Each structure stands twice: as structure tokens, then as C-alpha cells.
């Protein structure tokens, strides 16, 4: 039976109202499922390891089928959003004014023993002059001997967890467990995908990354990736808006302010002079960050993408913490 004109008009108005209310700060295009399979720009020399986290084949299966931690938990109450920059990246970056004491037990700091396939002479600003080095890894590092890697100087590790709204790194669960067993300070990072909504990407990260008391703060990796099937370049204001949605949701859930990882071109286009209340992890493989990102305080510096280490086959990213050993222990204790 054909409805009368008035009910049809009312029904259309209700549908339009619901769409407008749900769009919020997100893009309409963001609701299109992502065809992403990986964010890796450098392909491995050997075979890709088999998935270690359930069935992570890139299909259109529901997100729940790719999860290993179950449904998205309800977030905790909102943590304060007005924490001072000094708490995040002070001149002495490891000291948290709200802690006011040092950790009673401090783990061993392993000295830098990494090599580099493409060494750079950083001169007087060499990262080797800083005390606490670490790595970041993903599926492309394959099977890792974590105890050996730690002895080579990996005092911390950031592990690739997710990208977009439906891809889980197939080595994440194993890497997370083994890094913890080896005693490395560890955290997870998410590669942000500009063709998905920020909210669903945050939900996907939360679904797959444990809320662990001693884990390092979560990281949002924002960069332009020429290998990505998403060729979209949105405005700087829109970039920051989407980042904020994602980071607010993670901060509410994990109780730690996320760290922003970025590269020079993306920083220049979108983040220069912005987001001053967030700690930064900066990629700068040819010069000290002070030259590439003038005026920007930083917590971590990724100084090489061609590191070599026992315990890992092939190349690995090398990073360093901005502080001395005492700073590091204090910063870890403040988490």
C-alpha cells in the first residue's frame, strides 16, 4: 500500500536528521571499508611470516572475526585533558611533577650495540650520546630473538598493532607477549588511515591492544604513505580534527596521553606549531631533529631505518629517548 505524502515527508526528515547527527567530526567517505592490507613501505627480503593472531586475511569479514581481545570495552571516565606540556616533555623529560619521587626499582639499561647499513655522521649531536635506545617492529621483522635484541641495546620497543579500521598486524600478539617476557618496556602504535573515520580506528585499536598497567603510551603514526591505496590529502585543519578524535578516545581508555609519530613532510604540511600539548616521536634520519623540526620538543627520535642487530634478520628502525638514564627511569615510573 502506498503511504500518504505527509508520513513520507516526516520519514525522510527523520532519516536526514539522523545522518546529520551521526556525521559529527568525521568524513562521509570515512565510512567506506578500507582495502588496506599493510602500511609497510619497505618490503622484506624473505617470506612474510604466517599470521599468528587468528585469521587476519584481508577480507570483508566483520571486525569481530579479526579480534583477539573480544568486544570493545567501555572506556573509563575521561582523564584530565589539560595536563601541562612540562609533564609530557620537560627540559628534563623523565620527571613528572605529579609523581615527585623516583621509582624504587630500576631495571638495567643496555648500552647501544646496534650497527647501521647506511650510517650517518650526526657530528656532535649523534644519537649515540644519548643513553636509552630502542626499536620499533612489525611483521616485516619476522621472528625475533627478544632476549638477544635487548642485549644489543633495545631498552624499549614500539610494536605495530593496527592500521585503518580492520587490519591487525599478524605478528602483534606474539611480539607483544615475547617483548614483555624479555623484560622490554613496550607499547603499541597505530598507522592512521585517512579514508576511515577516526572513531572506528580508535575502536579497532582498543579492541586489539591490551590495557596493561606497565605499557608505554599508545602511538598514532601520521604520515603521507605513497604506497597506500588511500590517496586522499585532506586539509591540515581536518587532519588535526581527525587526530584529535582518535587521541581523545585512546586517552580516555588507556589513561595516558598518546604520542604522535610523524615524518618531516607530514609535519611541515599539518603539524608545525600545532598540538603543543602532546609528546612527539620524530623521524629524522639525516640530521638532528632540532634542524628538521626547529622549535619542536620531542620525546623519541627515530634516527635510522636501516639498523642492524643480532636477534633480528634484516633491517630494523632505531630510536632513542630524549634524556639520560635517570630521566628514563623517572618517565617510565610516571606512566
User: Chain centroid to CA 250: how far?
Assistant: 11
Residue 200 a catalytic site member? no
36, 200, 223, 251: which one is catalytic? 223
- 320: part of which helix (H) or strand (E)? strand 316-321
CA distance 291 to 44: 31
Q: What is the number of other CB atoms lying within 10 angstroms of the CB of residue 66?
A: 22
First-residue to last-residue Cα distance in the chain: 63
CA distance 127 to 110: 15
Task: Report the relative pairing of strands 167-168 and 156-163 from DSSP bridges.
Answer: antiparallel
Exposure string of 239-274, with b = 16+ CB inside 10 Å and e = fewer, is beebbebbbbbbbbbbebbbbbbbbbebbeebbeee
Q: Which of the residues are catalytic?
A: 223
Amino acid at each position: 500500500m502506498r503511504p500518504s505524502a505527509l508520513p513520507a515527508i516526516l520519514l525522510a526528515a527523520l532519516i536526514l536528521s539522523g545522518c546529520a547527527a551521526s556525521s559529527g567530526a568525521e568524513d562521509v567517505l570515512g565510512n567506506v571499508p578500507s582495502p588496506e592490507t599493510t602500511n609497510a613501505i619497505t618490503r622484506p627480503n624473505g617470506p612474510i611470516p604466517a599470521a599468528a593472531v587468528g585469521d587476519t586475511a584481508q577480507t570483508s569479514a566483520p571486525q569481530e572475526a579479526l579480534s583477539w581481545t573480544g568486544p570493545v570495552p567501555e572506556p573509563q571516565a575521561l582523564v584530565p585533558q589539560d595536563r601541562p606540556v612540562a609533564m609530557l616533555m620537560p627540559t628534563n623529560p623523565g620527571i613528572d611533577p605529579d609523581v615527585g619521587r623516583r621509582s624504587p626499582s630500576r631495571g638495567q639499561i643496555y648500552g647501544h650495540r646496534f650497527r647501521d647499513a647506511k650510517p650517518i655522521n650526526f657530528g656532535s649531536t649523534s644519537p649515540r650520546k644519548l643513553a636509552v635506545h630502542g626499536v620499533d617492529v612489525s611483521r616485516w621483522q619476522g621472528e625475533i630473538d627478544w632476549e638477544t635484541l635487548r642485549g644489543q641495546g633495545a631498552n624499549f620497543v614500539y610494536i605495530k598493532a593496527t592500521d585503518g579500521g580492520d587490519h591487525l598486524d599478524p605478528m602483534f600478539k606474539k611480539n607483544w607477549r615475547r617483548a614483555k617476557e624479555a623484560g622490554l618496556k613496550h607499547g603499541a602504535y597505530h598507522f592512521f588511515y585517512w579514508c576511515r573515520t577516526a572513531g572506528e580506528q580508535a575502536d579497532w585499536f582498543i579492541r586489539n591492544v591490551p590495557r596493561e598497567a606497565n605499557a608505554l603510551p599508545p602511538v598514532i603514526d601520521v604520515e603521507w604513505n605513497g604506497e597506500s591505496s588511500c590517496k586522499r590529502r585532506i586539509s591540515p585543519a581536518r587532519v588535526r580534527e581527525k587526530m584529535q578524535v582518535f587521541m581523545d578516545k585512546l586517552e580516555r581508555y588507556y589513561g595516558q596521553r598518546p604520542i604522535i609519530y610523524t615524518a618531516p613532510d607530514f609535519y611541515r604540511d599539518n603539524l608545525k606549531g600545532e598540538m603543543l600539548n602532546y609528546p612527539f616521536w620524530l623521524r629524522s634520519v639525516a640530521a638532528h631533529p632540532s634542524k628538521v623540526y626547529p622549535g619542536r620538543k620531542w620525546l623519541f627520535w627515530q634516527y635510522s631505518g636501516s639498523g642492524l642487530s643480532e636477534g633480528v634478520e634484516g633491517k630494523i628502525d632505531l630510536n632513542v629517548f630524549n634524556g639520560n638514564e635517570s630521566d628514563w627511569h623517572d618517565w617510565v615510573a610516571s606512566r
